[in-house]
Amino acid sequence: MRLFLLVGVMLVSQAMMAQIKMDLGVKAGFNYYGLDLSSAGKLGTTSYNSGPGFHVGGYALIKVSKFAVQPEIILSRQGQYFTTPYNSNLSTTLNYINIPVIVKYYLIGGLNLQAGPQLGILAWSKGDLVNKGIAQGLAASGQNLKDYVNPIDFSVAFGAGLDLPFGGSLTVRYNLGISDVNKYTDGSTPGNTTPSLSTSSAKNQVLQISLGYRLKKLGK
């Protein structure tokens, strides 16, 4: 009896392994990013705008039948642009090492839907600080924002993708931040200056368009 069970388990395992597809690859693309700021705590008489960025990294794909799991490691430039009555072309730049774990469902051919959680680790940050109060003016440009920004960010990613010939892929994905970027929400920022976040709740919002390329194929 035990022999029959062992043989059965081995046959099922071999059948599953025969269906598993594993890929290793790289990807890069365009970001259109911004920060969702709460109305309370914004810098007064200041306008906020989204802007362009980029992302680059690698992925591993594990696919069984119509489902796949794709963990990634991605360097992603995010943040926002802002303008005060006295200054224009100001920015808050947040560079993350993002680690999304994406679940894919294939509809037909290479067309797939995607969703999953994403962990972001702040690699470095830079921004323009203004005097406290109602946008009194530019105090310092290109400053390290580590004292103002939380080092860890959580978001949810969702979108769609298409597998292309010769190992290529196209992905359109939206990363919706669920954690607060700002260390000083509802509290006073240190010193006499403040970043564009001020004391607002701030959450990352990023639209990504990516091109990927499979470097290595494992399995069938």
d(CA 184, CA 200): 8
d(CA 201, CA 155): 15
120 has which bridge partners? Answer: 98, 153
Q: Which residues contact 154 (CB under 8 A, 6 or more apart)?
A: 117, 118, 119, 120, 177, 178, 179
Domain extents in the chain:
21-219
Residues 20 and 52 sit within 8 Å (Cβ to Cβ): no
Q: Does domain 21-219 have CATH number 2.40.160.20?
A: yes
| Averaged pLDDT in 10-residue chunks for the chain of 220 residues | 42 51 96 95 88 97 94 97 86 97 95 98 94 64 91 98 95 98 89 87 98 86
**What are 69-117's pLDDT values in tens digits?**
999 999 999 999 998 887 888 999 999 999 999 999 999 989 999 999 9
SS (H, E, C) 110-125: CEEEEEEEEEEEEEEE
> Measured in whole angstroms, how far is the alpha carbon of residue 16 from the centre of its chain?
32
pLDDT of residue 139: 67
104: phi then psi, degrees, rounded to nearest 5: -110, 145
d(CA 120, CA 109): 31
pLDDT of residue 134: 54
